[in-house]
Amino acid sequence: MTDSHPSLMLLVTGANGFVGKAVLHCLAELRPGDDRCTLPVVVSAVSRRPPALPIPRVRYFLVGDLSASIDWAPVLQGVDVLVHAAARVHVMADTATDPLAEFRRVNVQATLHLARKSALEGVKRFVFISSIGVNGQYTSPSSPFTELNEVHPHNAYALSKHEAELGLRQIAADTGMEVVIIRPPLVYGPNAPGNFGTLMRAVQRGLPLALALVRNQRSLVALDNLVDFIVTCATHPKAANQTFLVSDGQDLSTPELIHKMAEAAGVPPRLLPVPVWALGAGARLLGKEDAVQRLCGNLQVDISKARKLLGWTPPISVDEGLRRAAKGFRRETAV
């Protein structure tokens, strides 16, 4: 991306979140001559509340909860690239009376408000962190998702991300602001929230897991790989107005993942040979079908587009990503 300024100003939303904070750390460490950015960078961040540990060289703006009424003008002055990582995320036990309306309020209305204001203030590129859930919940064996597949958002969260994508593409067409959409699968790393964190803690505690007979393939993405890809998409000329799927480039079955988790944590895996049909039957009785689908079903993504168009390769392996994740969870347990 061409830029007449002597530096590149980047703004990241969701500064205290799992992904946003990691992106900020990476951007704050960029120096001229890095393959991903040849210019000096100036980094700003948006968050709801002050960070517990502010990152050196990052300027913070506190805006409260994302909404369509925020005055973004003071925050966006001089910004060249905006990475939008803030979102209302999918939760397993949503207490909202109307979850879809809440997802739309934050993930669609607030996002598009920010994007319109960004275009008005001269932001050149808007990088949107979406979700593989826009593609769907599962894939057929050996038929991974690609960017060309029809979308099948399977829950309120994924639908809100899809609607935001549609609105962003229209804003790009209307204003000329470049939009880049990234759809990651499950993101894992040190102290990762959600399903990965639950599974890692179970493995580290030696809990028996009835998953030895599962024969699936799933794509994951290490936090460090996702961050590297986000930074690449923020600066690479060929990323403009593109949608990308991203992963580690190595798919695993659930038993393989658990074995690798256990190895990274230095504990023996404890897998029990329970038939998959029995897991499904138990899940239906308990109303946990989605949880079993995530553990037993296929969800693969093809990252050929990222490799070919951007020349991007995941910088760390699955084994290294899990080693870093396990180290973080050991620190958490020690505390």
For 158-210, what is each residue's pLDDT tens digit? Answer: 999 999 999 999 999 999 999 999 999 999 999 898 889 999 999 999 999 99
- Decide: residue 4, CB within 10 A, 0-12 exposed, 13-18 middle, 19+ buried: exposed
Plot region of 288 (φ>0 → left; ψ -120 to 50 → alpha; else → beta): alpha
What's the confidence (pLDDT) of residue 291?
80
> Can you tell me whether residue 304 is helix, strand or coil?
helix
Residue 200 covered by a domain = no
Residues forming the active site: 157
pLDDT at 317: 97
End-to-end CA, the chain: 44
Please indicate, yes or no, if residue 310 is contained in any of the structural domains: yes
Residue 283 covered by a domain = no
Statement: residue 54 has pLDDT above 60: yes
Could you write out the three-class secondary structure of 5-58?
CCCEEEEEECCCCHHHHHHHHHHHHCCCCECCECCCEEEEEEECCCCCCCCCCE
Lowest-confidence pick of 27-36, 98-107, 134-143: 27-36
DSSP 218: B
- How do residues 64-74 score in pLDDT, each as one tens digit? 899 999 999 99
Distance set, CA 115 to CA 97, 171, 211, 221 (Å): 28, 7, 43, 26
Classify residue 230: in a domain, yes or no: yes
Please choose, from the candidates 190, 192, 183, 209, the residue with its C-alpha nearest in 3D space to the C-alpha of residue 291: 209
pLDDT, position 2: 47
| 201 inside domain | no
pLDDT at 49 over 50: yes
Over 90: is that where the pLDDT of 331 sits?
no
Helix (H) or strand (E) holding 126: strand 125-129
**For residue 71, how many other CB atoms are within 10 A of its CB?**
9
Beta bridge partners of 170: none
- What are the angstrom distances between the C-alpha of 51 and each of 16, 62, 281, 295? 6, 10, 44, 34
pLDDT at 288 over 70: yes
Identity of the residue numbered 307: R
CA nearest 324: which of 227, 191, 196? Answer: 191
Average pLDDT, the chain: 92
pLDDT at position 103 is 95
128 in helix, strand or coil?
A: strand
Domain count within the chain: 1
Per the structure block, which two tokens stand in for 301?
A: 């993504």
Q: What is the DSSP letter of 124?
A: -
In the chain, the amino acid numbered 319 is D
Give the count of alpha carbons within 13 A of 302, CB side only. 14
DSSP H or E run through 245? strand 243-245
Asked if residue 273 belongs to a domain, the reply is no
- The pLDDT-based confidence of 31 (bands split at 50, 70, 90) is confident
Q: Please give the Cα distance from 186 to 159 (Å, whole number).
A: 17
Give backbone dihedrals phi and psi of 268, rounded to 5 degrees, phi first: -75, 140
The CATH number covering residue 164 comes to 3.40.50.720
Q: Has residue 234 been placed in a domain? A: yes
> Residue 70 belongs to what domain range?
8-192+220-248+300-315
The answer to whether residue 308 is domain-embedded is: yes
**What value does the mean pLDDT take over residues 87-113?**
85
Q: Which two tokens stand for residue 320?
A: 């290294």
